[in-house]
């Protein structure tokens, strides 16, 4: 159907949307008159599924009822609880269950993965990141370089946009690898860039990196639950992502970790150890020498927080009802409609910096509003349009196919137009 710039058309798109019912599975924040907020920050903190409270309550009840026996007696026994998450989480990122585990938080997981996969030598030690990588990733790799005795100024290689541009070109990464590949040990790339929303061809990056004997890792904070990264097939060595954005699992919730099957039984890799990556068959014998588990579980250290995992289970159960293919199909339409409406605005003050090719983006559009300052964001917030502001002049908006509707998008643009 051709897009039209009218409320009636937006309503029609909602009526025809096979996933429209999913919105009812979420708590949508409301204004004082009971109207739904126009919430576009699922790229920062996803909304709460209605199931979450029930799933957390179940664990609280079982804790009250069984105490420590809940590890075995709870309706969902706590001992293997993380295993209940592996299958759906693996499907969401296109991996095998063996390759995925939920544990810790994102930056912590990146460090644990670098303990194993960043093995610099005197001559091959550099790390490539995007020049506008999320600050936590930049700090993490800088501190890894310093930890191994290298000067981060020399060891950090930035994949930069060309003069006057915002997006990155794959050919420029190729040039970096041609020129410095022999000195590069690791590429750590945000699968979907947090600022521009650019979605990279992860498989191509893995091929390019591997051709130069580099390890390739991806940060999927903005990818998991948004696009299908097909991690196994992509061949990347490792990945990590948080679950509080598109995976709707609550503020500061646990993170996901992927280690490719080819490394599942690598006992030669250095890694930190705790009782939770020791063989679960003999874990409670307590006196065994360390015997590392295979697969991603072999990177765990501690017994996991069940209440946070209960929230992840609730969210994954909503994902399992639809699957990533259907979500992505809606996402392409929803973000496409958003883009269409922005392009209809008759003002050269506004420019979308996210790629216009839908295959090179997820649901987020980063909209540059020239000569604007943060007061624009403030005004939108006062109208209950919740977006995310990035200095100096970019509004990041993520219409999330799970709970945003076409009417949300239409109304948001009408309000934005009023401030231009």
Ligand X SMILES: Cc1ncc(COP(=O)(O)O)c(C=O)c1O
- Cβ 403 to ligand X shortest distance, Å: 19
- Cβ 237 to ligand X shortest distance, Å: 18
- Closest listed residue to residue 257, CA positions, set 129, 195, 271: 271
Q: Give the Å distances, CA to CA, from 120 to 116, 124, 273.
A: 11, 6, 21
Q: Cα angle vertex 201, ends 138, 397, to 5°?
A: 65
Torsion sign (Cα): 124, 128, 134, 135:
positive
Radius of gyration of the chain (CA): 22
Residue closer to ligand X by CB (options 105, 119) is 105
Residue closer to ligand X by CB (options 144, 384) is 144
Torsion sign (Cα): 145, 244, 280, 71:
positive
- Cβ 256 to ligand X shortest distance, Å: 11
- The 10 Å CB-count burial string (b at 16+, else e) for 122-155 is eebbbbbbbebbbeebbebbbebbeeeebeeeeb
Residue closer to ligand X by CB (options 130, 297) is 130
Residue closer to ligand X by CB (options 59, 219) is 219
Residue closer to ligand X by CB (options 108, 119) is 108
Contacting residues toward ligand X, per CB under 6 A:
105-107, 134, 136-137, 190, 194, 219, 221-222, 242
- Cβ 192 to ligand X shortest distance, Å: 8
- Cβ 10 to ligand X shortest distance, Å: 30
Cα distance between residue 86 and residue 339, in whole Å? 35
Residue closer to ligand X by CB (options 91, 137) is 137
Burial class (CB in 10 A: 0-12, 13-18, 19+), 34: exposed
Helices then strands, each counted (H, E), the chain:
14, 15
- Cβ 60 to ligand X shortest distance, Å: 24
């Amino acid at each position: 159907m051709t897009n039209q710039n009218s409320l009636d058309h937006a309503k029609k798109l909602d009526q025809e949307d096979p996933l429209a019912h999913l919105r009812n599975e979420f708590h949508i924040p409301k204004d004082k008159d009971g109207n739904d907020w126009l919430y576009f920050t699922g790229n920062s903190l996803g909304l709460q599924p209605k199931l979450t409270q029930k799933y957390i309550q179940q664990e609280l009840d079982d804790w009250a009822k069984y105490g420590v026996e809940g590890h075995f007696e709870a309706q969902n026994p706590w001992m293997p609880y993380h295993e209940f998450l592996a299958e759906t989480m693996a499907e969401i990122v296109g991996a095998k269950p063996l390759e995925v585990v939920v544990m810790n938080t994102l930056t912590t997981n990146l460090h644990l993965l670098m303990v194993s996969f960043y093995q610099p030598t005197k001559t091959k030690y550099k790390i490539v990141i995007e020049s506008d990588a999320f600050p936590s990733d930049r700090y993490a790799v800088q501190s890894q370089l310093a930890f191994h005795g290298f000067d981060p100024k020399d060891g950090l290689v930035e994949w930069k946009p060309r003069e006057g541009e915002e997006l990155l070109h794959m050919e420029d990464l190729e040039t970096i690898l041609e020129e410095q590949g022999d000195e590069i040990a690791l590429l750590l790339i945000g699968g979907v860039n947090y600022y521009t929303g650019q979605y990279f061809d992860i498989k191509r990056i893995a091929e390019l990196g591997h051709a130069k004997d580099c390890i390739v890792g991806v940060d999927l904070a903005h990818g998991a639950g948004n696009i299908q990264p097909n991690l196994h097939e992509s061949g990347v060595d490792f990945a990590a992502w948080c679950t509080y954005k598109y995976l709707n699992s609550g503020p500061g919730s646990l993170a996901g970790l992927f280690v490719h099957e080819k490394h599942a039984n690598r006992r030669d890799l250095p890694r930190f150890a705790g009782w939770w990556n020791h063989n679960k068959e003999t874990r409670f014998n307590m006196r065994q020498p360390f015997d590392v588990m295979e697969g991603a579980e072999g990177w765990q250290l501690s017994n996991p927080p069940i209440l946070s995992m209960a929230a992840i289970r609730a969210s994954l159960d909503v994902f399992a009802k639809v699957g990533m293919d259907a979500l992505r199909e809606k996402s392409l339409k929803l973000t496409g409609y958003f883009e269409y409406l922005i392009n209809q605005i008759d003002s050269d003050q506004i420019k979308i910096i996210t790629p216009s090719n839908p295959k090179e983006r997820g649901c987020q559009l980063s909209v540059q509003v020239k000569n604007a300052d943060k007061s624009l964001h403030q005004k939108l917030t006062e109208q209950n349009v919740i977006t995310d502001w990035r200095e100096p002049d970019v509004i990041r908006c993520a219409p999330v196919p799970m709970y945003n509707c076409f009417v949300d998008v239409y109304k948001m643009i009408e309000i934005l137009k009023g401030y231009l």
